């Protein structure tokens, strides 16, 4: 009996250590001098990532981090090399943590943004910087930097990069929009938002988790199956004399949002703008009647006409923009 009790106590202690919640100070409550120290390091980090300066990156990193420098930076440095990101960034959230056990798995819950951050602390004192950098005011990338205090200095122990939000909305917020569309019967728009929410689930690889993750994946897979089963393409608009064929439904992503793009093939030459415009009027009427699962009240609806040659190959295209 005593042995059993001892084993249970050991097991309880082990489980507790697996889910350590550190003493955490958040954002503006963090000591201003420490925030300035980390800010200077983050500024140097972004400069080094922008220039691919390995010497500076090694200076910022811990000994363990530098052993795997190339692998650690592989997914972080490419947005800078591709020109998606520059040195411009802002603090998304910050956490100054004190731990009782080293090393251990630590969990932080964001009261502001509703996610859980789990990481391995390699020191009794850590600092997590979540830094947001935007591309064209549309896509927000998250650079997650975990510092460990080594002596009197702070060294990078982990760094990740991922897509955080689109048009200012993270995975949970996009999912809420998807549910709103679905409740109104706009299944196509709900599907697009679910697909987007799915792409935003890992802004820091496996470090950040949203409580809605399982629901997002479940609802996306369910809607994907329904869309592919019930809404098939190509679709001939038989009530129109010219018999245009809807070939594809996709989306256009512009600076204001994500909007439907309806692509169709037409027998009218694209050079005949008058006939093409008249046909489009009929197409709009038929599409809105048959595709009531699309929200046609959105600010923009795009229609793209294609010509097909005798060999069945697509030639030129022309895009119409309907602004509501």
More confident residue, 309 or 67: 67
Question: Measured in whole angstroms, how far is the alpha carbon of residue 320 from the centre of its chain?
Answer: 29
Six-digit token string for 186: 């706009």
Question: Which is it for the CA torsion 170, 171, 174, 175, positive or negative?
Answer: negative
CB contact at 8 A, 178 and 137: no
Domains of the chain as residue ranges with CATH:
16-166 (3.10.450), 171-230 (no CATH), 235-323 (no CATH)
CB contact at 8 A, 106 and 121: yes
pLDDT for 135 equals 94
Residue 271 to residues 105, 175, 266, 267: CA-CA distances in angstroms?
65, 42, 12, 12
Residue 144 has pLDDT above 50, yes or no: yes
pTM score, whole prediction: 0.89
Crossing angle of helices 187-199/213-230, nearest 10°?
140
Tell how strand 208-209 and strand 203-206 pair up.
unpaired
Six-digit token string for 84: 């998606």
Of 140, 223, 137, which is closest to residue 175 (Cα–Cα)? Answer: 223
Residues 6+ apart with CB under 8 A from 50: 80, 85, 86, 87
Q: How many CB atoms lie within 10 A of CB 287?
A: 23
**pLDDT digits over 171-199, tens only?**
999 999 999 999 999 999 999 999 999 99
**pLDDT digits over 249-274, tens only?**
999 999 999 999 999 999 999 999 99
Query: Given the structure tokens 């391995």, which residue do they identify?
Result: 120
**pLDDT digits over 200-257, tens only?**
999 999 999 999 999 999 999 999 999 988 888 999 999 999 999 999 999 999 999 9
pLDDT for 18 equals 54
Query: Given the structure tokens 């300066």, which residue do they identify?
Result: 53
């Amino acid at each position: 009996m005593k042995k059993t009790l001892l084993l249970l106590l050991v097991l309880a202690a082990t489980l507790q250590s697996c889910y350590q919640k550190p003493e955490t100070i958040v954002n503006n409550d963090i000591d201003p001098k420490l925030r300035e120290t980390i800010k200077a390091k983050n500024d140097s980090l972004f400069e080094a990532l922008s220039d691919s300066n390995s010497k500076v990156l090694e200076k910022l990193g811990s000994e363990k981090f530098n052993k795997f420098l190339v692998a650690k930076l592989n997914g972080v440095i490419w947005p800078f090399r591709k020109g998606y990101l520059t040195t411009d960034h802002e603090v998304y959230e910050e956490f100054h943590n004190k731990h009782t056990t080293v090393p251990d798995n630590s969990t932080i819950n964001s009261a502001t943004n509703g996610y859980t951050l789990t990481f391995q602390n390699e020191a009794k004192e850590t600092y997590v910087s979540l830094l947001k950098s935007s591309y064209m005011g549309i896509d927000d990338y998250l650079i997650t930097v975990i510092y460990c205090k080594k002596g009197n200095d702070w060294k990078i122990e982990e760094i990740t990069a991922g897509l955080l939000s689109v048009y200012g909305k993270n995975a949970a917020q996009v999912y809420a929009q998807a549910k709103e569309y679905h409740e109104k019967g706009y299944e196509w728009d709900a599907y697009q938002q679910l697909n987007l929410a799915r792409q935003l689930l890992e802004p820091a690889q496996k470090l950040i988790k949203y409580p809605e993750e399982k629901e997002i994946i479940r609802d996306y897979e369910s809607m994907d199956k329904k869309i592919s089963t019930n809404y098939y393409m190509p679709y001939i608009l038989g009530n129109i004399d010219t018999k245009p064929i809807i070939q594809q439904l996709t989306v256009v992503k512009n600076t204001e949002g994500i909007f439907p793009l309806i692509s169709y093939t037409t027998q009218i030459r694209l050079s005949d703008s008058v006939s093409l415009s008249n046909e489009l009027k009929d197409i709009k009427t038929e599409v809105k009647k048959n595709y009531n699962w699309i929200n046609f009240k959105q600010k923009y609806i795009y229609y793209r006409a294609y010509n097909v040659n005798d060999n069945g190959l697509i030639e030129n295209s022309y895009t119409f923009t309907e602004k509501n």
